[in-house]
Structures are given as structure tokens and as C-alpha cells.
A and B are shown apart, each in its own frame.
Chain A
């Protein structure tokens, strides 16, 4: 009687990965393609996508996805410092209202109102959150959850900034292409910029604060200053997205503080794999179009959406990006045991 032949799956890291971790010596074109293709292809796809969806409903979806990607990236940056935000809507809304207000009341052109909203919004959000930087974990999250609700109610009850009607007929972008490419370039710059930033020494300090802030303090580093810097950058990105959206729809209302702008970026980052920025971006470009497709299902949409999220969390808790990255860097083969 013969033993049944059994196989064991063997996973081996590709040589290039081992070499490329710290040393960048690329010998062959094959190595270079291996490294650059996964970075280059998504960028290329993003750049040509507007030509395929131009003018239609899906153009709006693409723009929408870019805005959510910016929010997800901003969430991921804050999460890298250990600041788990439940209020990306705060950044989005503040940026939207500053830009809308400047345009509506001061008749400021968009090439001034958008940069101003980005900077002023980042300052404003940082100032708001500086007072609660000492709070850790869930306490910080709760404050960020409450702040956008607070602003929505302030605007409603005090009837300021257009109250429940919002600010209407703001200056539109001179062309849809400009808005679209502003959004796309912002996503690309943030994605690669953040990935670089987090691997610099500055980023190491940020990640250190997440892992153990007491060690960082014992290392002579003012953690509150670094947290504030991270919030400033994340806030700026969120505010920029809000400002773009305002002028894209030529309207700003209380809905910019809605929970959607908090939940969707968070869900995207979790689905894609937090901490990698690429994961957050992939997550958004899957979830936003998906939620649009599911719109046809009416009431069932949210239920199905939730089910997909839960399934993703159970099956792939590490996130899509980390899984894909791992598989890309390994080859597998069956070896006879």
C-alpha cells in the first residue's frame, strides 16, 4: 500500500523585495518593472479614467470617489499617529463652508477661496482639536464625532451661513476637467506624499506616538506638537476636498457635516488596510462606486453594503492592500512532503 502523496504550499519572498527594503540598486529592467508597475499603473488609470466617463453620471462618481479618497487618506494619516478620528466630516465641512462663505459673501474667485479655505480650515481644525490632544483613544474619537454635529446644529439654529437653506449659486469651476484633475492630482500627491512622509524620520516619530507615546516623551519629543502637525496636514487635505466639492456643486449646506463623510472614509481605510495609505485609496475607489451601483436596489442598499463590509472585515482583517502586497512579494509553489 502506498502512502498518499501530500503537498505543502511553500511561500518564498522574492529576492527583489529583500533587496529593495533598504537598498535601491536595481540591476535589470525586470526588477524595475516589478517595482514601478504597481505604482505606475494605478496612477495611469486615474489619469485616463476621466476620458472614459466624461460628461456622464459616472464622471460625478469618479469626482466623488476622489473626494472620499482624500478624506480616507487624511483619516489614515491621523490614525498613523494614534488619533482615531470619527469626524472627517469636520474637516470636510469646515473647508466647504469657509470656501463657500468666502465666495458668497466676499465674492472671492475660486483660485483664492479654495487655497484659503485649505489653509484657514487646517488652522481652524487644528485649533479646535489642540485642546483635546491630551485625550487618548476613544475619548479623542468621541470629541471628533461630536464636533461636526455641533457645527451642523449651530448653523441650523443660529441661522448663520445660509442656515438650513445653505449658500446657493457659488462660482462653478470653469470646466469640469479642471475640477476632476485637481481632485485626481490631489489624491496622487497625498497618496505618495504621505507614504514617503511616514517612512521618513518624522513619520517614525508619528508612528512611535501611536505605538507608545510615553517612550516618545521619554525620548525628549513634544508629542502634542507632532500630533498638532499631523492634524494640520490631515485637516488641510480634508478642507481642500470640502472646498473642491463646494464649488463643484456650487452649493454648500449642512449636509457637508453629515455622518457619510465620516463613515465612508473610515470604512474604506478599514477595507483597504489602514496604515498604508494605498489601502485607504483602493478602499474608496471600490466602496464609492459600489454604493452607487447598489443605489438601484433602493432600501436594500445599505443592508447589502453593511454585509459586504462585515464580510471583508471577517475574511480579510488585515485589509485588501496588505493582502495584495504580501501576495505580490511572494511566489508560491507546492512541495511534496
Chain B
């Protein structure tokens, strides 16, 4: 399964004024891989995700997705190619019922191309998607306004929104932040299942224990620079990674 390179990031750099948020990061991602993206706070994980998904334009560097150059393309164009992302801070349409939140991605040109999304059916597809992610279809939960749902549900709603796009590459930005242990335990197998079914996943996460259970490769960032890349065990044993996580000043 690990054959085709789905995402290629080359010498990606982003400066915000004097701050170098992402500094010359390069990596390849193969189809079916589960990549963990870790690093201390402010190490550039979210910026890297924003760069890949087009929400932030890079200062220099190149991003290739399946032979297409997607550097500095519009976010919706990248999403339509099949790169779907979640947001670190919960973003939802709080006034709409939960399942109606999914109508927006289901209305996109990408999903319309797959067909079967005429008016009325879209609601059913949305309910099916939510049911898959633990919103019991017979309960009132999918029909409640998103604003009235607890945080854990909102995070899963965000995940459902990503899956509604039928992505080929799923990028999760700290999906588990703010989730209760039980919620994490319920969500983790779902993500694992998506990966087993062939979905390539990049996951930025602070909960290392849970991440290492599912990720088969991690990239560690510190001050915007890639300091390790490899299997979770290898990466964590690197001296630089340990320094970064233990908070010791890196010499030089």
C-alpha cells in the first residue's frame, strides 16, 4: 500500500515579520501513511497545516499534492482536490442543527461530482455521516443546534465535516484537545479505521500516548524547524527532541 507519494513538501518557509514560524521544512507523505506531527507549543504545527491547506501563503518553498503544485492555492481549491482539514479551535455553524453543518461540504463541487447529492438526500447523507461518528441517529443529538452541543461532540462534528468531503488526505489539527478521556477513547478507533481503509492522515497532537498508538511515523517540529522524522520510538529518542520536550535550552 505504501507506494505513491501523495504529498511532497519542499523547503517550506513562512515568516510572520521577524518570526520564522516554519523554517525550511521538507518531507514526503506516502499514500496510506499515518503521520503524527508533534512539537512544543508554538513550534509551527498549525502554521504548517495552514500552509498545506492554503489558509496561509508560504514565504518560499513548494507543496505538491499528487503531481499538482498546490503552493499558495486557495483553500477551497485545495479542499476540492481532496485535502480536508479540521480546526484546532472548534469552528462550527453554531446556530444550525448539527447535521445541517455538514450540508456545506456536501454542497461543494467535489462532493457534487460524486453524485447522489440532490436536495433532501443531502440531509440523509449528513445523518449517516454523523451516525458513523457516534451521533446516535435515533437520538435528538444530530438535530440539536451545534451551539448547544458539548465540546467533544463539536470536535467530532468537525471530523464529520472533514469526512463529508470524502478526502484522500485528512489533516487533523489537535483533534483531541479539550476532549475527555472517554471521548478520545471512542474517537481513536474511528480514525484508526479510516486509516486502515486507505485514508492518508496527518495528525498534529499533544496527546502523545494516544497518537503513538495509531501513527506509524512522526515528524517533530521545534521553533519551526524539523528536528526529527521517523518511527515514534526513533523520533522520541533523538537528543534534540528530548531537549525540546524537557525544555532545556538548545545550545548554539
Interface residues of A (CB under 8 A from B): 200-202, 204-205, 207-208, 211-212, 214-223
Contacts and interface: CB of A to CB of B under 8 A. Distances in A.
Interface string B41-71: 0000000000001010000000000000000
29 contacts: A200-B119, A201-B107, A205-B104, A205-B107, A208-B93, A208-B96, A214-B55, A214-B75, A214-B87, A215-B87, A215-B104, A215-B161, A216-B76, A217-B74, A217-B76, A218-B75, A218-B76, A218-B105, A218-B161, A219-B105, A219-B107, A220-B76, A220-B79, A220-B80, A220-B105, A220-B110, A221-B105, A222-B76, A222-B77
Contact of B91 (A204, A205, A214, A220): A214
A221 B76 contact: yes
Contacts of B122: 201
Contact of B79 (A202, A205, A211, A219): A219
Given A204-B104, A212-B93, 17 more contacts: A201-B119, A202-B107, A205-B104, A211-B96, A214-B75, A215-B92, A217-B55, A217-B75, A217-B79, A218-B79, A219-B164, A219-B165, A220-B105, A220-B165, A221-B105, A222-B76, A223-B76
B104 A221 contact: yes
A212 B91 contact: yes
A220 B53 contact: no
B120 to A, nearest CB: 9
B109 A220 contact: yes
Contacts of B200: none
B93 A215 contact: yes
Contact of A211 (B77, B93, B161, B162): B93
A133 to B, nearest CB: 13
Contacts of A205: 103-104, 107
A264 B141 CA distance: 42
A319 to B, nearest CB: 15
Contacts of A212: 91-93
Contacts of A218: 53, 75-76, 79, 84-85, 87, 105, 161-162
B105 A207 contact: no
B143 to A, nearest CB: 8
Q: Pick the 5 closest A-B CB pairs, nearest first.
A: A220-B108, A219-B105, A220-B79, A217-B75, A220-B80
B209 to A, nearest CB: 28
Contacts of A214: 55, 75, 87, 91
Nearest to B166: A220
A159 B74 CA distance: 43
Contacts of A202: 107
Contacts of A208: 93, 96, 104
B78 to A, nearest CB: 8
Interface string B91-133: 1111110001001111111110000000100100000000000
A223 B122 CA distance: 20
Contact of B161 (A207, A219, A222): A219
